[in-house]
Amino acid sequence: MVRRNPLRELWERDRTAFGLWATVPGSFGAELLAGAGFDYLCVDQQHGVLDYAAMVPMLQAARAAGAAPLTRVLSGDPALVTKALDAGAWGVIVPLVSDGAAAARVVSACRFPPRGSRSYGPVRAAEVIGSSDPGVVEREALCFVMVETAEGVGNVEEIAATPGLDGIYIGPADLSLSLGSGELERAVGRIREACEDAGIVPGIHCFSGEEARRRAEEGFRLVTVTSDAALLREGARRELAAARRAPSR
């Protein structure tokens, strides 16, 4: 039975997908957090302390727990993009894309000929999607690029208009470093509007549930709520602080 990409189904119902960013290796942690009700779990191969071998069981665990598995790859290298999609990720997020030509190369890596250059070999993806048909496999794979530089913001309308691109994901940290914090919100608004005008999905990385809710209200449709590392750190600090406030005996 062919399975639809659950995130595509959400957006068809005009709903926002809320997700978790995974940077800590381990399938059990991914399973626990994905099972909390997140719509997706994105395994971070760029800045997370994990590699391809760690990613695959995390993708498996996330899907088993009910969250759509995504991954941020190291770069737009077609070999990295293809291998991640073949491993069963429902989509890839490619960092540091700053012009339309770079976005077109990413799309090409996600699509089979004649639309692109992706080599055929959906080893695990065919099991996840329920079909080995190239058209079906290609249709369900999500292709997102990150705009996180001043150059990228300047070219965002061109990037958003790239045929075959599903969305743009904002990395606020790098974007703030590139632009300065005073220009961040203006750039965020411009990127969101470019996505809306092009009919693609605007996405953004957040650091709390409150921020995620606000971004969803602004119109973002792929919204990362927080990360596994942040939850571990803040949860540990909170409980330790509570313990130390207890009356001594």
CATH number, domain containing residue 222: 3.20.20.60
195-246 pLDDT per residue, tens: 999 999 999 999 999 999 999 999 999 999 999 999 999 999 999 999 998 7
Number of domains in the chain: 1
Q: What is the mean pLDDT of residues 183-188?
A: 96
Residues with active-site annotation: 47
Find residue 207's DSSP bridge partners: none
Dihedral sign (CA 109, 115, 119, 125): positive
Output the pLDDT for position 249. Answer: 61
Domain residue limits at 20: 6-244
Output the pLDDT for position 106. Answer: 98
82-125 pLDDT per residue, tens: 999 999 999 999 999 999 999 999 999 999 999 999 999 999 99
Whether residue 1 lies inside any domain: the answer is: no
Output the pLDDT for position 231. Answer: 97
7-62 pLDDT per residue, tens: 999 999 999 999 999 999 999 999 999 999 999 999 999 998 999 999 999 999 99
What's the CA dihedral at 78, 81, 83, 87 to 10 degrees?
-160
Output the pLDDT for position 182. Answer: 87
Q: Which of 97, 93, 69, 63 is nearest to 81 (CA)?
A: 93
Whether residue 249 lies inside any domain: the answer is: no
Output the pLDDT for position 207. Answer: 95
**Alpha helices (runs of H) in the chain, residue ranges in sequence order:** 6-12, 27-34, 52-64, 78-86, 100-110, 125-129, 134-140, 150-154, 156-160, 172-179, 184-198, 209-218, 228-244
Residues 6+ apart with CB under 8 A from 245: none
* pTM summary value: 0.95
Three-class SS of residue 82?
helix
Q: Are 91 and 142 in contact (CB under 8 A)?
A: yes
Tokens of 85: 């999609």
Tokens of 205: 């990385």
Whether residue 181 lies inside any domain: the answer is: yes
The amino acid at residue 60 is Q
Rounded Cα gap, residues 168 and 155, in angstroms: 12
Output the pLDDT for position 181. Answer: 78
Whether residue 138 lies inside any domain: the answer is: yes
Output the pLDDT for position 248. Answer: 63
Mean residue pLDDT across the chain: 96
137-185 pLDDT per residue, tens: 999 999 999 999 999 999 999 999 999 999 999 999 999 999 987 899 9
Select the more confidently predicted residue: 1 or 11. 11
Whether residue 194 lies inside any domain: the answer is: yes
User: What are the distances in angstroms from CA 137 to CA 98, 143, 183, 197, 236?
Assistant: 27, 13, 39, 27, 41
